[in-house]
Each structure stands twice: as C-alpha cells, then as structure tokens.
Structure 1
Amino acid sequence: MSRAAALAQALSVLGRLARAGADRLRRLPRRRWPLAAAGAAGLIILLVFPVSMVAISRIDDNPDFVAPHPLPGRLHAPAVVAALITRELEVNHWRANDPLFLPGGWLRDMPAFQLGLVGALARFTGALVVENGAGWTANGPDVALNHAAGLLKYPGTVWKFDTRTSWLPTASAEKQYRNAQRSIDVFNLNFAEGTVPFERNAATLVPVVEGLIRDLDDSLDAIDHHLAEERPVLLDFAINGVFYRNKGRLYADSIVMREVATDFETVLAQRHLGPGWTRMVAALAAAARPKPTLLWGAPAESSLLPNHLLAQGYYAAQARFQAMAILAALKAAE
C-alpha cells in the first residue's frame, strides 16, 4: 500500500471515529460536555497530530534538483539558490517556525534540514557580495544581491509573532526568505540583460570556496561537539538535530557548488581544477545522501551499531580536503 493510500485510509477511520464521538456527545448530559471536550482534544492530539506529522514531513534531498524554466544568459548558481528557497517555501512548506499548536511544531528532522539548507544558501550569497567578490560592482555590492544575502540571515524559527522581542506581529521567516528569492531573481534578470556585472575569475571564486570551507567546518564542529558529550546510544535525543541540520547544509552546498562549476567553467578549466571540483561536489553529495530510518551514534569502535555522524563527517572532511586544495590553487594563480 502506498503512503497516500495509507494516509487516506487512516483519515477515513479518523472520520468515522469523529462522527461516532459526536453522536455520543449529543447523548451526554450537558454537565459532562466540558469533560468530553477535554477528552476529544486529547484524542485529537494523540491521533490526528501523529498522522498529520507523517503526512507533512519531507526531507527533500533530490540530488538532481535544478532550477526550472531556465532563462537565456542567466547565472546558474544564483538561479538554483532562488529555486531551492521557492521549493522549501511553496512546495514543501516551511516547518522550522511552526508553533506547537500545529503538527509541524512537533517535527524535528525536517525543520533542522531546512535551517541547515538556508544557512548554506545565506553563506554562499554572502560570499558573492563581499568586497571584490563576484557580485561586487564599482559602487559596492549589487543592491539586489546584497539585500538577499541580508534577508537569508533572518532566523528561520520566527513565526508571525516573536515573543522574545515583542508581542506585536513581526515579519515571518517565510516572508523574509520569499523577498530574498525575489531579489536574487531580480539580480539574475539584470545580469541577463547586461545591466549588472558578475566577475568570473580566480579572485572572485576564492570567497566562494572560503565560504564553503567555513560551512564544512561548522558541520564538522557540530559533529565533534556532539560526540564529545558521550551521550547514551539508545537515549540520544539530540543526534537527529545535528545530523539533519548538517544534511541540509551539505545538500545545499552540493547543489550550489555543482552550478558554480558551470558559472566558473572557464576559470576551472584554465587552472585544471575541473576534476578536483567534481570530486569535491561528489563528496558533498555523498555526505548529504544518507537518510537512515533510525539514527545511531554508537562508539567508533562498535562492531554492532553504526555511527551515522562519523560517516557524515568522513565525507564532509573529504570535501573539505578537496576545497582546501582548490583554494590553494586559486590563490597561487592570483
């Protein structure tokens, strides 16, 4: 039975139970209605929430993802950044800021994945608008691209209200990221029309690789800190957050760096860095690929259970090694 058929069957059963409960409620004396309402609320939490959580949870790690509807003359890497943002907002829906009264507020893996993904996109976009970066113009950073880089740093956990700062309504993470996506599209359209520059040389590729290395360092540091705490294997409730945030970061890096190779194809070819870049992207994709049913953090010497963080860190370290070699070659060519 498919997942959709199983979900439809479960909802049908829940509907019959709801109708039966409503019939029984009408037959109860009015003084027992508050107690019955409390019981119905508990039943909804115990039955409806778990089914809804299964239905909405999605770790979208499609390795072949590309930006749809290509426009002539546009840049590939910014286009795929905008497409990833759109996918998580409009197709998968943003779950990292769902409040606890919604089923998404009880998810852990999908929000961690989304936060890691946007974090990587923010770092890449920021690397384009640093001084003398690819998105740097004679008047400073490109306005649209710089605007997007700032918005992508917005906390992904902010809902329509952020009680940590004010009780008044505030801009949600979805609104800020949607505006960032629009700004990236504006920049790419302007580039395609020839009204903004995008320097593609070894010097402007350096900040991109440096940003990737910092991203990988963050992933490896998160793994190191988690393993240093020596949590019990069967009661490790934090491993999912570390693993899936890293997975989102590594996945986004693998997709974006694959497209960077197209935008900087001439630079990589001139310096014979194409094979090394391909190996780096392959290592990133390998680090982001696993999606185990159960996550284990067994000791490294265990012969019975795996340690998924160690496996993730191994491929991340491989990608970092390749990135460091590419960075050295780019700086030597300046």
Structure 2
Amino acid sequence: MLDPIVTFFVRIFQWIGRGIGLLIGVILWPFMWAGRWYTQRGWILKAVVGLALLVLVGLYANFFYATQWWSNFNPSYPDTYSFEKRNVSAGEQVAAGAGTDTTKTCGDSGIAQIAADLIDFNVNQNAWVSSMVLYKLGLFGINWDDTPWMDNKASFQRGINQAVRRTATELADNLGRVRTTSQIDTNLQDARGQLQYDESIWYISRNGMTATTPSMYRRAMGNLRSFNARLATCQTTFDARADNLKQYIDRIASDIGSTSAILKERAENHNNGWFDFRADDRYWFAYGQLYAYYGLMKGAQADFEGVIKEKHLQNLWDTMDAQFVSALRIQPFIIANGREDGWLLPTHLTTMGFYVLRVRSNMVEISNVLTQ
C-alpha cells in the first residue's frame, strides 16, 4: 500500500535532482565553453588572457576583503576621546587675557575633530566601497544594492558621510563664523564643497579622468584639521552660542527624521522577510548615521560646554547618549524585514526606526530647552 506513495516521492526527488543538475549545467556552460576556447588558443593569447584573469581575480579578492572586513569599527569610539577633561568651549581662550597674538591658545572644536576622524575612518582606515570599480559594475550588471551581498558596508559608509556632510555645512554657515555676518572660514568653505562630491566617482567619469571620491574627501579632512589647528591658536572663530547649538540639533533631528520615514516606508510596503534585498541598505545607512551623530554629539557637548552648563542640559544629554548606545548595540547578521504583527520573522527596520525616533525625541527636548 505504501509503494505508490514511495514511488511518488522518489519521482519528486528525481525531478528536483534533474532540475538542480540542469541549473548547474546552465551556470557552468559559459565557463566550460571558455575553457575549451582557451585550450585551443596560441600561447601568446593564453598568456594575455591568463594575466587578465589573474588581475580580475585579484580585484575581486580585494573587493571581497574591502566589503567584508570593517577595520576599526567600534560603536563605542566616542569614549576614546577625553573631551570631559577640557572644561573649555570651542573658540574660548584658555587663559582669558593671557598670551600674545602668537602664543595665546583657545579651545579647539570636538565637532570638527570627530568629523575629520570619521572621514579618515571611511576613506583611509577602510576602502570607500561606493566608488570601487567592481561595486560600480555590479553583479553581472545588477546593482549590488539590489542584491543581499557586498552592500552593507557601502550603505553604512554613506550613512556616516550624510552626517559629516550635514555637519560641514553647519560649520561653514553658522558655527565657524560670528552671527553669519563675518566672512566664511576658507577651510570650512572648502571642506563643505568637497564633501558634496559625488559618492561614486572612480578615476574615469563621463568627462574623462577626474579626482576620485576618496581623494576629494581626504582634502575635506585636511581642511577640517587645518581649521581646528587655527582655532586652537585663536586665529579663527567658533561661535558657541545657544542658538547655534539649537540650530545644529534641529538640523540633525530633521536629518534622522527623514531616515525614520524611509525606514517606515520600507517596513510597511516591502515586508518580505529575509527576501527584501533593500532592507539591509536602509538599515545600515541609518546605523551609519547614528554611529556618526553619536560621536558628533559628544563633540558638540564639549564645544558648547558653557551652554550645556548654563541651560542644565546634562541629564537630557546623557539620556540621548544612552539612546545612541542602545541603537548601536543592534547588529544583526542578516537583516529581516518581517511584518510588524508577524510571529516568525523579526522586523529589524521597525526596531531601528524606533531607536531613531527615540534619539530624535531627545534632540527635540534639548532644542526646546535651548529655546527658553
């Protein structure tokens, strides 16, 4: 009686086996054809093709390493700075009334320092993935962002870069000048423009040879460090006023608010569990933003030390820091975009969106206190 059932399942597994074999054959056929073609060529052509293949294998090995190994990734990196020992706001003369024009010193900017260090992390300590030639070519013409592989680090780096871009704009337009009536600092102006450079430029563009994205960002890093060096010798300005801090906080709240809306849209309209191949891009972009803003807020806490004391903001600031820490602890191996009311698959996008909104809520509270 069981023979028909056994036969049925045997046939099903045979069909599955034949289907898998056919699929493997289709995948391997171009390589088998290329192998036969290669063995029939002369030694000069073999040498040229072999060298090209070795270069291609080397490029892919480097690409795999660059996308999978995250050098010096440390969500607790702001703790390595000793801003709490400074006790001086950015631009404030260390010893009021002391020193000559050539010897006096002022507090440098924690915001500028961390922004420069984040650029260094993105383009020197790690390869900038978005402009690598193999990332631009994609997987057989398919954008890597549309696949579940090789794109998490690129999205994370772009999230950091978004935060640094916003910060460079605020430094140039408001923080690095007196009440927007003084001249814009040249270093900050150059850094702002350089960080607006397209994130995916390789050596060759439509217009021919050009500067790569990493080289342009390195120039911005140099300009931020030059501004900070000049600030430390009181040769330029940092306007550490409450209204400037409020505006910077408001701009960041708006920035991560937009990211929260993107996470919400993806979670609600594309909840395909582990098969939503764009969910990881959204998640790691948001993670990169929070990673950068956590450090930049530590820098702002040091730069506006006097304002924070005057407005009694320390408790609110500590709460905001705690929300950053909680969000950055969430590092899933695979990002799943499950239904919010689902019982099987997690919904990492909604979880990250929750923490983004918690950070934003704390920022709004700080902004409200600064208004008073």
TM class by shorter chain equals 0.7 to 0.9
State the partner residue of 2:351: 311
Deviation at 1:182, TM superposition (A): 0.7
Aligned counterparts, 1:94-243, within 5 A: 94-100=128-134, 107-130=150-173, 133-137=174-178, 138-163=181-206, 166=207, 168-243=208-283
Match of 1:90 among 117, 121, 124: 124
Listed one character per residue, the Cα deviations across residues 137-160 of structure 1 (whole Å, up to 9, x for unaligned) are 453322211221221121211111
Q: Does the 8 Å contact 1:220/1:316 carry over to 2? A: yes
Displacement of 1:312 in angstroms is 0.6
* Deviation of 1:65 (Å): 2.1
For structure 2, the residue ranges without an aligned partner over 5 or more in a row are 1-34, 84-104, 145-149
Q: Which residue of 2 aligns with 1:62?
A: 74
Note if contact 2:119-2:221 (Cα within 8 Å) is conserved in structure 1.
yes
Choose 1 or 2 for highest CA Rg. Answer: 2
Tell me if the contact between 2:108 and 2:231 (Cα under 8 Å) persists in the aligned partners.
yes
1:99, CA displacement in angstroms? 1.2
- Conserved? CA contact 2:129–2:135, under 8 Å: no
Corresponding position of 2:335: 295
Partner of 1:100, secondary structure, is helix
Equivalent of residue 278 in structure 1, options 318, 329, 350? 318
Structure 1 segments, 4+ long, off by >6 Å, are 32-45, 47-50, 67-72, 101-105
Give 1:145's aligned amino acid. L
Counterpart Cα distance in 2 of 1:200 and 1:222: 33
Structure 2 matches for 1:317-328, cutoff 5 A?
Answer: 317-328=357-368
8 Å contact kept, 1:96–1:110:
no
- Alpha-carbon distance in 2 for matches of 1:145, 1:109: 30
Alignment-derived partner of residue 298 in structure 2: 258
Secondary structure of 2:259's aligned partner: helix
| One-letter code aligned to 2:76 | D
Distance 1:170 1:202, change over 3 A: same
How large is the RMSD of aligned CA atoms in angstroms?
3.3
Q: Shift in Å at residue 83 of structure 1?
A: 1.1
SS at match of 1:91: coil
Q: TM-score, normalising length from structure 2?
A: 0.72
1:267 pairs with one of 273, 297, 307 = 307
How many residues align? The count is: 302
SS at match of 1:141: coil
**Is the alpha carbon distance of 1:248 and 1:326 closer, same or farther for their aligned partners in structure 2, counting shifts above 3 Å?**
same
Residue 129 of structure 1 aligns to a residue whose secondary structure is helix
Higher RCO, 1 vs 2 (CA within 8 Å, ≥6 residues apart): 2
Query: Could you tell me the percent identity over the aligned residues?
Result: 24
Change (3 A) 1:227 1:43: farther
Shift of 1:64: 2.9
Change (3 A) 1:229 1:37: farther
